[in-house]
Amino acid sequence: MSKPLQQKVALITGASRGIGKAIAFELAHLGASIMVNYVRNEEAAVETVTALRDMGSEAHSFQANAGDGADQTLLVDETFKLFGGVDILVHNAAIGAFKPVHKLKPNQWDLSMTINTRALLELTQKVLPSMESRGGGSIIALSSLGSHRFIPNYGAIGISKAALESLIKYLAVELSPKGIRVNGVSGGLVDTDAVRHFPEFEKFRDEVVRRTPAGRIGAPEDLARVVAFLASPQSAWIYGQILTADGGLSLI
Ligand SMILES: NC(=O)c1ccc[n+]([C@@H]2O[C@H](COP(=O)([O-])OP(=O)(O)OC[C@H]3O[C@@H](n4cnc5c(N)ncnc54)[C@H](OP(=O)(O)O)[C@@H]3O)[C@@H](O)[C@H]2O)c1
C-alpha cells in the first residue's frame, strides 16, 4: 500500500528524544526517510535510528548544534549526501533558561533566540534550493502556549517562540510560490525530559492537569501526529498556521 510520504526525506532537529523522536516515528509511519539530528546524546540518537530502521524506514543520525551556522551546513550537506535532498524540515530543537525574564542574562536571551528561532530561518535558507528542485516541500516548527501567555519562568523560551510564530507566517507567504508550505504546531505541557527542569515540576504538572479540559498533560505523540498531518498532502491548503494541540488548556 502506498504511503503519503513515500520517497520523501524529513530532516528533524532534536529527534533523538521527546517530541522530536515521536515526530520521527509518525513521519516514518507515513513512509518518509528520516535524518535524526541531536546535539549531545548519541546513545539516544542511535537507539532512535535503530528503532526507525526496525520499522522499515531509512534513517540516519547526525550530531549538530541546530543553532550553529557551520553545524547546520554540515547537517544539511550530510542529509543531501545520504538521502539526495530534503522535502520536509521540522525544527523541533529548543532550549531556554528557566527563570524570570527580568533576570535573564544577554547570553541566555541570545541562546534561546539563536536555537529556537534563528535556526529555523537559517535551516530554511539551507534546504531551500533542494526543496525548490524537488518541486516544493513542507516546513514545520514547534511552538508552545508560552509564546502568547504568561508561564512562570518560561519567558526565555516563550518570547523566542513568539518570534518563531511570526517568522513562520512571513516565510509562509514568501515561500508559497515555490510550493513550500510553512506552519507551526503548538502545545501545552508535554511529558518529556525537558519539563522535568521546570522549577517545582510536580506542582506545576498537577496544576496543568487540573486546568486542562482533557484531564491530563500531553504525550509527545499528541503533537507529533499534528506535525505529520502538516507534512502530508492532507493539509495542502494550510499555510502559515500555528495548530494548537493542548487538550483544551488554552480555552480556559
Ligand atoms: N515538552 C513540552 O512541554 C513542550 C510543549 C510544547 C512545545 N514543546 C516544544 O517541542 C520541542 C521539543 O521539546 P521536548 O520537550 O521534546 O524537548 P527535549 O525532551 O528536551 O528534547 C530535546 C531534543 O532536542 C535536542 N537538542 C537540544 N538542543 C539542541 C541543539 N542545540 N541542537 C540540536 N538538537 C538539540 C536534544 O538532543 P540530545 O538528545 O542530544 O540532548 C533532544 O533530541 C521544543 O521546540 C519545545 O519548545 C515542548
Q: How far is the CA of 101 from the centre of ligand 1 (A)?
A: 20
User: What pLDDT band is residue 197 in, cutting at 50, 70 and 90?
Assistant: confident
Per-residue model confidence (pLDDT) at position 44: 98
Residue 172, domain extent: 9-251
Active site residues: 154, 161
Q: Is the pLDDT at 1 greater than 80, yes or no?
A: no
Q: Does any domain span residue 3?
A: no
Closest atom of ligand 1 to CA, residue 190: 3
Render 37-89 in DSSP notation, one character per residue. Answer: EESS-HHHHHHHHHHHHHTT--EEEEE--TT-HHHHHHHHHHHHHHHS--SEE
Per-residue model confidence (pLDDT) at position 199: 80
Q: Is the pLDDT at 111 greater than 80, yes or no?
A: yes
Q: How far is the CA of 250 from the centre of ligand 1 (A)?
A: 21
The pick from 142, 165, 201 for probing ligand 1's pocket by mutation, whose C-beta has the most ligand atoms within 8 angstroms, reads 142
Per-residue model confidence (pLDDT) at position 2: 82
User: Is 31 within 8 Å of 3 (Cβ atoms)?
Assistant: yes
User: What pLDDT band is residue 88 in, cutting at 50, 70 and 90?
Assistant: very high
For residue 67 and ligand 1, the question of a CB distance below 6 A is answered with yes
Q: What Cα–Cα distance (Å) separates residue 173 from each residue in 15, 231, 238, 241?
A: 27, 17, 11, 11
pLDDT digits (tens, 9 = 90+) for 24-42: 999 999 999 999 999 999 9
Q: Does any domain span residue 119?
A: yes
Q: Does any domain span residue 184?
A: yes
Q: What is the mean pLDDT of the chain?
A: 97
Q: Does any domain span residue 4?
A: no
Q: Does any domain span residue 150?
A: yes
Q: Does any domain span residue 185?
A: yes
Q: In the chain, how many domains are there?
A: 1
Q: Could you tell me the CATH number of the domain that includes residue 141?
A: 3.40.50.720
